[in-house]
């Protein structure tokens, strides 16, 4: 698993599979921002990218116990802050 610098934000589309992260900010229209917030994409919420669809397909994102499927164009508008992980696999 790739470890990233603690203050480096990434687009959700660039987050490695299985890497723990937190939502930093959503850059989108008000309508999409409200829709994403209703799905759980709010600042500080922990998440992981579980799977990526082939050929620029959608992303499966886990927010707590909820899995959400997002278009890549929507996921690209979400900035995340990767969470450093300790050697035993738990968050630091």
Over residues 1-28, the pLDDT tens digits come to 444 445 689 999 999 999 999 999 999 9
Residue 73's closest CA among 91, 54, 57, 51? 57
Percentage with pLDDT > 90 across the chain: 77
Q: Which two tokens stand for residue 42?
A: 């709010």
Is domain 11-82 annotated with CATH 3.40.50.300? Answer: no
Global pTM reads 0.80
Residue written as token pair 């919420």? 45
User: Given this model, what pLDDT does residue 86 score?
Assistant: 55
In terms of DSSP H, where are the helices of 1-92?
30-39, 72-75
Residue 4's closest CA among 76, 87, 15, 42? 15
């Amino acid at each position: 698993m790739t470890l990233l610098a603690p203050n480096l934000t990434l687009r959700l589309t660039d987050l490695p599979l299985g890497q723990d992260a937190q939502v930093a900010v959503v850059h989108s229209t008000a309508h999409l921002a409200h829709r994403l917030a209703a799905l759980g994409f709010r600042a500080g919420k922990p998440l992981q990218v579980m799977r990526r669809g082939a050929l620029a397909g959608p992303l499966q994102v886990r927010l707590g116990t909820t899995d959400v499927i997002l278009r890549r164009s929507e996921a690209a508008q979400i900035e995340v802050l990767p969470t450093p992980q300790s050697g035993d696999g738990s968050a630091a």
